[in-house]
């Protein structure tokens, strides 16, 4: 058995000015902007949810701007298999996560669990 849940949203921005993009989205969503450390900070900026419900980041990308969601899980391989059985496909595996595509065309990522209340809130699934 494994667990998964919606972790949050990543706002993909095709931009050369990530701080400006993050400032816009932070103001638009009423979320303070927090820089991330080192190399991670070159591509991502965290927007802090004051209610601590969702993980939201602004990401610098080279593809068209869009929003994608992340599904967090305690077993990435099991969750990928479950989603493939529902019709999703693997686009690519990146370091510790997997980019997938829904049968309807939207891309999303399966990532490692990281929410502080993951164990209490996550859906529980039988192993495939």
91 has pLDDT over 90: yes
Residue 128: predicted pLDDT: 64
Architecture of domain 2-115: Roll (3.10)
More confident residue, 52 or 85: 85
Tell me the C-alpha to C-alpha distance, in Å, between residue 47 and each of 11, 16, 32, 118, 125. 10, 18, 6, 19, 30
Q: Rounded distance, CA 70 to CA 87, Å? A: 17
Query: Model pTM?
Result: 0.82
Q: What is the pLDDT of residues 24-76, one digit of tens each?
A: 999 999 999 999 999 999 999 999 998 888 899 999 999 999 999 999 999 99
């Amino acid at each position: 058995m494994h667990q998964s849940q919606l972790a949050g949203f990543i706002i993909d921005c095709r931009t050369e000015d990530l701080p400006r993009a993050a400032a816009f989205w932070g103001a638009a969503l009423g979320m303070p902007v927090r820089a991330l450390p080192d190399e991670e900070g070159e591509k991502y900026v965290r927007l802090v949810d004051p209610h601590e419900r969702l993980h939201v980041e602004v990401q610098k990308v080279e593809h068209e701007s869009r929003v994608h969601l992340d599904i967090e899980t305690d077993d990435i391989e099991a969750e990928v298999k479950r989603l493939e059985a529902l019709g999703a496909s693997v686009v690519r595996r990146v370091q510790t996560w997997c980019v997938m595509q829904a049968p309807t065309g939207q891309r999303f990522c399966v990532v490692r669990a990281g929410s502080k209340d993951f164990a209490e809130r996550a859906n529980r699934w039988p192993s495939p």
